[in-house]
A and B are shown apart, each in its own frame.
Chain A
Amino acid sequence: MSGIDQVLAQAMGIPGVLGAGLTDWTSGLALGTAGRAPHDDHEAAAADTAEVVQAVVRNATFGSADAEGPGLEDVIITSAGGYHLIRFVRTAFDSQTCLHLWLDRAQANLALARLRLRELAAELVAA
């Protein structure tokens, strides 16, 4: 049984991870952080992550209005130096949070990190 801090601590064990966070994407509020953030600013990372997620969530292209149940899963941003991996957290009740990882491209395996983050998002709310 894991809370936010335990899950973020586990996320820091993913190969190549530089930092991790849980953010409310409606407001950009960082609900929890671990490790480093770009420019050493976790709050800015949370706010920027929220902006990306808002752009994805409000547009029909990325999540069909007809779909029942969980729709959106991940948002992945790759750059020359790193990966940013964002995972929507699904809960039984209404909530708007996402887990996000900042990964060192030279060290990380994107496919593996995505699978681990999926497990952690489930573990965060699992009984």
Chain B
Amino acid sequence: MTSLIASCPGAASPGPLDHLAAQRVTGALYAPNACFYLRDGAVYCVEGTASPGTGARLGAAGRLPAERWQRARETAGPTHRGGQFLVGEGWLTQGELEICHLGALLDAAFFALPLPPGTTSFTPGTAHWLGVVRAVSAAALQRATAHRRALLDRLRPWAAVDAAPVVPVAPADGGPSPATGRQRRLLESADGRHTPCELARALGQSAFLTLLDTRRLAAAGLVRMPAAPAALPRRRPGACHPVPPTTQSPPPSWQLPVPDLLETPDPDVALLVRLRTALEENL
């Protein structure tokens, strides 16, 4: 049985996750690029397409071979006790499973929240094969995701590197060098062909932190910004309404700029465009 959940527009209004949490439901919430599993309204598993899952993280680190993860999935069966099986076999400790699983949950939730209105469906009763390793309240999960979003937004001028292949720039003599070991390893694995999220999946590491580090490296000039469009983004033609010649001059009216035309990877140009837009809005 699948029921569509209507959600309210706007970031501050409660979304589908809040409604399900309030109803203390058990089941699976399907979103465009992630699936949230709930038990009694609390989120205990999130699987997403943008970030590596628990099994991928353990596998990439050499902590748990993919065959054993697969074995647990097959053994879990209708009782959904894959997590207990992994710990019971001595393949993982309870602490490792909890920490790795929560890390994967947070990372997948980051790329899925806030849920776009009208895009989710909920199936009551559906459970994840791993079982409830540890649950997080929907409200706390959304606050945590907003906190991560705020960290990324501080580096907004370098947002263009998010979806582009990571191209390292050789530092000049005496120029900046990577601030952390994580950033240095990211540069080492960047081959100029893979995006931050693809690198995160290959390395089995947090996709959020990979994005954050890529933006920081771009800000330091150690990762190349994608090529900017040749010309400055243009306003929509006729954005300024022609004022008919009258004796009384009416206030000029402006239309909002076309968002697509304002996308530019160059932080300086982006700043100028934002400034121009703000000036126009206050005319």
Contacts and interface: CB of A to CB of B under 8 A. Distances in A.
- Chains A and B bind each other: yes
A125 B99 CA distance: 9
B102 A24 contact: yes
A96 B181 contact: no
A2 interface: yes
Contact of B95 (A2, A59, A63, A64): A2
Interface in B134-162: 134, 136, 140-141, 143-145, 147-148, 151
B106 interface: yes
Given A28-B147, A93-B204, A124-B99, A67 B181 contact: yes
B95 A124 contact: yes
Contact of B96 (A58, A96, A125): A125
B206 A59 contact: no
A94 B95 contact: no
A65 B99 contact: no
Interface in B80-123: 87, 90, 93-96, 98-100, 102-103, 106, 110
B96 A92 contact: yes
At the interface, is chain A mostly helix, strand, loop or mixed?
A: loop
A96 B103 contact: yes
Contact of A60 (B95, B103, B180): B180
A3 interface: yes
A89 interface: yes
B125 to A, nearest CB: 27
Contact of A3 (B95, B145, B208): B95
A126 B96 CA distance: 8
A107 interface: no
B87 A1 contact: yes
Given A3-B95, A127-B90, A94 B184 contact: no
Contacts of A2: 93-95
B39 to A, nearest CB: 17
Interface string A1-27: 111101100000000000000001011
23 contacts: A1-B87, A1-B94, A1-B95, A3-B95, A26-B151, A26-B208, A26-B209, A28-B144, A29-B140, A43-B140, A58-B216, A59-B179, A63-B180, A64-B181, A65-B183, A66-B184, A92-B63, A93-B57, A93-B100, A94-B103, A95-B99, A96-B206, A124-B93
* The 6 A-B residue pairs with the shortest CB-CB distance in the complex, in nearest-first order: A27-B144, A3-B94, A29-B144, A93-B61, A94-B205, A124-B95
Interface of A: 1-4, 6-7, 24, 26-31, 43, 47, 50, 54, 57-60, 63-68, 71, 89, 91-97, 123-127
